[in-house]
């Protein structure tokens, strides 16, 4: 099956700093990538949809200036959490698709903001 | 916004028993998918059922879809301790560009 990687797998940062998370499709070209957030013991919440070469579409309640998404190529999307706060600590998961039914999920990035 | 409701929230069974999880949703869908997640790990895609399908099998998994009731069920037969995980349904709403809306999940514990 298609493989999606995320980097880093874990990151700890200080409050007020920014963190960049990468999502790569390793063996296919992803026209669309999705970013989700998952708090402990909860489900995945879609944050935004990212199409290559265009601006991301954010879900209601997600601050686009805080969660910057860039989908510059068909194999890479990045999520930057700007001015991170402890409440941003979460598990961030990306997925990628190329227009078919299935999305392929990355292994997730655990962000801890101290 | 989440549109999937799952029940039960938690299920504890003995190895060898069957496990059934239910999912309900609110809007028209293109398909419904089931995923598994081990604690703190990524998602594993289990099965996809399209809106024009009613039942699908994959190994020990059986999924049903009732679009008139906007509900789906996942049955795991002859469960194993290794099936212990959280299970999520996710809907691909019609005309939403392929994004997935996840249910709240069922935490399954299979005791050896």
pLDDT digits (tens, 9 = 90+) for B32-76: 999 999 987 889 999 999 999 999 999 999 999 999 999 999 999
Q: Say how far apart CA B85 and CA A75 lie, in whole Å.
A: 30
| Residue A3 pLDDT exceeds 60 | yes
pLDDT digits (tens, 9 = 90+) for B4-33: 788 999 999 999 999 999 999 999 999 999
Q: Of the candidates B41, B37, B106, B38, which has an alpha carbon nearest to the alpha carbon of residue B72?
A: B106
- Give yes or no for B109 touching A (CB within 8 A): no
Chain B residues with CB-CB distance to A108 below 8 A: 41-42
Q: Which residue of A has its CA nearest to B87?
A: A43
């Amino acid at each position: 099956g298609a493989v999606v990687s995320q980097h880093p797998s874990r990151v700890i940062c200080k409050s007020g700093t920014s963190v960049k998370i990468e999502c790569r499709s390793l063996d296919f070209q992803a026209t669309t990538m999705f970013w989700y957030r998952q708090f402990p013991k909860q489900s995945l919440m879609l944050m935004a949809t990212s199409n290559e070469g265009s601006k991301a579409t954010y879900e209601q309640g997600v601050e686009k200036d805080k969660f910057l998404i860039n989908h510059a190529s068909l194999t890479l999307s990045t999520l930057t959490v700007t001015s991170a706060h402890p409440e941003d600590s979460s598990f961030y998961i990306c997925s990628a698709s190329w227009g078919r039914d299935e999305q392929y999920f990355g292994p997730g990035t655990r962000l801890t903001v101290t | 916004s989440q549109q999937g409701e799952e029940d039960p929230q938690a299920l504890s069974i003995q190895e060898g028993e069957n496990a059934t999880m239910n999912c309900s949703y609110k809007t028209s869908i293109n398909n419904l998918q089931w995923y598994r997640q081990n604690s703190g790990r990524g998602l594993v895609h289990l099965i996809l059922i399209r809106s024009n399908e009613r039942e699908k099998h994959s190994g020990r998994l059986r999924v049903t879809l009732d679009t008139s009731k906007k509900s789906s069920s996942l049955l795991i037969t002859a469960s194993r301790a290794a099936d212990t995980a959280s299970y999520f349904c996710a809907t691909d709403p019609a005309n939403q560009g392929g994004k997935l809306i996840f249910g709240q999940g069922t935490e399954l514990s299979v005791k050896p």
